[in-house]
Homo-oligomer: A and B are copies of this chain.
Amino acid sequence: MNRLLLLIAAALIPLLASAESVKSPNGNVALNFQVAEGGVPIYEIFYKEQPVVLPSRLGLQLAKDKHASRGMDETDLMDGFSLADSKTTTFYETWEPVWGESAYIVNHYNELAVTLKQKPFVDAAGKKRDGRRIIVRFRVYDDGVGFRYEFPQQEDLNYFLIKEERTEFGLTGDHTAWWQAGDYDTQEYPMQTSRLSEVEPRIRAAIAAKGTGKQDNMRDAIIWGNASQTPIPNGVQTALQMKTDGGLYINIHEAACINYATMHLEVTGTKEVGTVGIQPTLVSHLTPDATGLKGCMQTPCQTPWRTVMVSDDARDMLSSNLILNLNEPCALDDVSWIHPTKYCGVWWEMIVGKSRWNYTDEFPSIYLDNIDWQKAKPNGLHAANNEKVRRYIDFAADNGLDQVLVEGWNVGWEDWANMWKRDVFDFTTPYPDFDLQALNDYAHQRGVKLLMHHETSSSTQNYERHLEAAYSLMNRYGYDAVKSGYVGDIIPRGDHHYSQSMNDHYLYCIKEAAKHHIMVNAHEATRPTGLCRTYPNLVGNESARGTEYEAFGGSNPDHTVILPFTRLQGGPMDYTPGVLETQLNTWSDNQNFVHTTLVGQLALYVTMYSPLQMAADLPENYAKYMDAFQFIRDVACDWSESRYLEAEPGDYITVARKAKGSDNWFVGGKCDEQGHRSVVKLDFLDKGRKYECTIYADAKDADYETNPKAYVISKKTVKQGDVLKLNEARGGGFALSLKPVQ
């Protein structure tokens, strides 16, 4: 059978004729598994009888180690397997997230667990060994598949080192992909849209893409001039969103990445053009440690879940809970202290370059303990000062915001990044113009909290040494949330941001924070994989190119209609929207502009789900647009229900959400640089009830480049079944606020 015939057949019957099989509850998704010739484990995935993943290999290459005793063995877990056992089960539950896009989540799947056994062998000491066993567990949902490798505890596979995981995803064609270049140390490249075959030729440009911004502040220089950057030649990051020419949406990511390195996907097979075109295969590529190894494992253990979401409706990519469902239930007994949070902060003006994190320019370099900060000469540009922070506290209190982030409050910002300084911050000593006690007291009087900031400068050993004192200080002064940061290369040197040990570090901090009832929002940490189900105090991550890049040259307008399909699959992003003064040179020397309309910024509060939402702009900028700012005041950040109304990756997203504990609905629509005409059917409203609908819309002539701040706010009364037609400008969007009329 030639390849063409094979593929035609594949559309009708599974390729793996004698396979173990399992289908999703509604039958749409089917998975086959088989041990092929040579004992090679193979799987394939179908959606409505169309192939999604062609027969593809599973396995891991192990590394040789000088410590070869006690079952530590370098024989690969790639082949030589026979099927020892196979079990199929069904699971159904509903569970209630602490916060999220909906109040209840259904977790319904059919499971196939295959036990694979290698042949008995004689070890180095001449001892007869039973064959080693692994389990591959597949969970098949109506919207996709998750599978993982499990390594039961056994004498013959006790410890092992991973040279590389070799999980393959054979694709049916040269799909369109929304991707970010693979890298061990940054996730902040611009998102790319291309055929898979174009990934490798485009990667060099993708990792060099810097926007066009003037490099006018220190952070800027660090990010562009000296970024921690370790690209993979033909690799992309996950979640990878794809679309077949036949209109099938496929998304590959991972779930529950614990004690394991973060996965990238190498794009292979794009140079072999067959009779029916290119059929790329994606192959897992883990982040290495300082010695190049990918993992040190001890049984019993397992890999994260490898996830393949699939649907013929793009909206299902956004509404899927597959990744959360594959994570373990909440591990915390008490979650009463975890809450969604809207905040503003002393931040954007530093990003833009108008003020600074550091207090003094007096010293060429500093040792924290050797400076008399009271005597240090202020540079006059330090943002985190008592007067300014009080103004932000007042602004938050006056506008219903819960917290005020203050970056640059603690000593060490004089030479914090990329100097290979280990002892860079102590996380407890404020600058002399930041009165820790008085500012917290004032905030609490005004009914808001300060939001702590811990920039680690990626010096993780230093951070762990100070962690207990830093969290204790937070408890002492009444902080309950921390934004942490990992700018720069990892210290200890040689390690990478997404390695097994760093992933462990991030989780260690989350667990320690939970003991202190502290919520964590970790920037530059590894991209999330749904761990917020298990540890709901992980309320946010950055882990992608955020709003800050609008001050560094900008992000393409399609950025925020790609992120929900990619970065947001694993958990919420602290994208920090709400920059209503899109022209930065109106109030600073920064010549960059935000690549959305003003209304587009409002839409992001709904389209980019997060329990943590920043109002990123300056109070004085909001003062110019108080009518538009009203939406930011009103919008919820926790939801009982979410309905994706329209979606196409890179083009547009429209979503309606119902505020938790309320009957209010909010609708957001966001589009790319093409604009979008959105048709919103108000099916989701309560029957027979009237709603006051406030519409925040781009003005007719609005355009993110030429006329971004032209908007129209209107009100009308609506009811279930009404249809709103809304024009989204180039780089624009809309936002609706719907309140029942009493």
Chain B residue contacts of A468, Cβ below 8 A: 468
Q: How far is the CA of A289 from the CA of B291 in the complex (A)?
A: 11
- Asked whether A69 is an interface residue with its Cβ less than 8 Å from the other chain, the reply is yes
A421/B365 in contact, CB under 8 A: no
Q: How far is the CA of A418 from the CA of B495 in the complex (A)?
A: 20
How far does the Cβ of A115 sit from chain B's closest Cβ, in whole Å? Answer: 18
Q: How far is the CA of A233 from the CA of B544 in the complex (A)?
A: 46
B461/A415 in contact, CB under 8 A: no
Chain B residue contacts of A419, Cβ below 8 A: 67, 70, 72, 158-159, 298
- Asked whether A364 is an interface residue with its Cβ less than 8 Å from the other chain, the reply is yes
B67/A226 in contact, CB under 8 A: yes
How far does the Cβ of A515 sit from chain B's closest Cβ, in whole Å? Answer: 12
Q: How far is the CA of A161 from the CA of B465 in the complex (A)?
A: 24
- Asked whether A454 is an interface residue with its Cβ less than 8 Å from the other chain, the reply is no
Main SS of the interface on chain A?
Answer: loop
- Asked whether A723 is an interface residue with its Cβ less than 8 Å from the other chain, the reply is no
B504/A422 in contact, CB under 8 A: yes
- Asked whether A296 is an interface residue with its Cβ less than 8 Å from the other chain, the reply is yes
B66/A494 in contact, CB under 8 A: no
How far does the Cβ of A711 sit from chain B's closest Cβ, in whole Å? Answer: 42
Chain B residue contacts of A296, Cβ below 8 A: 420-422, 493
- Asked whether A211 is an interface residue with its Cβ less than 8 Å from the other chain, the reply is no
Q: How far is the CA of A623 from the CA of B221 in the complex (A)?
A: 73
- Asked whether A664 is an interface residue with its Cβ less than 8 Å from the other chain, the reply is no
- Asked whether A556 is an interface residue with its Cβ less than 8 Å from the other chain, the reply is no
Chain B residue contacts of A721, Cβ below 8 A: none
Task: Name the contact of A158 in the complex, choosing from B225, B364, B422 (C-beta under 8 A).
Answer: B364
Chain B residue contacts of A722, Cβ below 8 A: none
- Asked whether A299 is an interface residue with its Cβ less than 8 Å from the other chain, the reply is yes
Q: How far is the CA of A226 from the CA of B465 in the complex (A)?
A: 31
Chain B proximity mask over A707-738: 1 for CB below 8 Å, otherwise 0: 00000000000000000000000000000000
Chain B residue contacts of A587, Cβ below 8 A: none
A420/B492 in contact, CB under 8 A: no
Interface centre among A67, A154, A290 (most CB of B within 10 A): A67
How far does the Cβ of A181 sit from chain B's closest Cβ, in whole Å? Answer: 18
Chain B residue contacts of A154, Cβ below 8 A: 364
Q: How far is the CA of A278 from the CA of B172 in the complex (A)?
A: 72
B289/A493 in contact, CB under 8 A: yes
Closest B residue to A370 using CB positions: B300
3 closest Cβ contacts across the A-B interface? A290-B290, A290-B494, A296-B420
